[in-house]
């Protein structure tokens, strides 16, 4: 009985662990919609990287090529240019 309760609790915790969608921001490849050109030579599932100035730093993005040749933004992290003395 105790193992059933523990298993149910673990299942509930894992079910609540969802990753929120990363939304495109100005500078993202997919900001304003998918690019007009399709990546026809790249294999499906390939990773595409993009970096651009964002705020007071640089944003680094990771995309994956989907089966319909669209790009899915899966990750973004930023690095600040601000230097503290």
pLDDT confidence of residue 14 = 56
State the pLDDT at residue 21.
85
- Cβ–Cβ under 8 Å, residues 32 and 69: no
Domain carrying residue 71: 23-85
Mean pLDDT (10-residue bins), the chain, 85 residues:
68 61 92 88 94 93 95 94 70
DSSP type of residue 65? E
Q: State residue 54's pLDDT score.
A: 92
17 lies in some domain: no
Asked if residue 65 is part of any domain, the answer here is yes
What is the predicted pLDDT for the residue at 40?
86
User: What pLDDT is stored for residue 20 in this prediction?
Assistant: 75
Q: Is residue 3 part of a domain?
A: no
Number of domains in the chain: 1
Q: Which two tokens stand for residue 38?
A: 């399709």
In-domain check, residue 56: yes
Q: By the 8 A CB rule, do 27 and 54 touch?
A: yes
Please indicate, yes or no, if residue 14 is contained in any of the structural domains: no
CB of 52 closer than 8 Å to CB of 27? yes
């Amino acid at each position: 009985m105790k193992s059933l309760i523990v298993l149910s609790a673990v299942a509930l915790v894992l079910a609540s662990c969802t990753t929120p969608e990363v939304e495109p921001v100005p500078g993202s490849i997919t900001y304003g919609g998918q690019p007009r050109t399709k990546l026809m030579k790249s294999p499906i599932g390939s990773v595409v990287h993009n970096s651009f100035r964002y705020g007071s730093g640089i944003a680094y993005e990771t995309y994956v090529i989907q089966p319909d040749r669209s790009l899915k933004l899966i990750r973004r992290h930023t690095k600040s240019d601000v230097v503290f003395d």
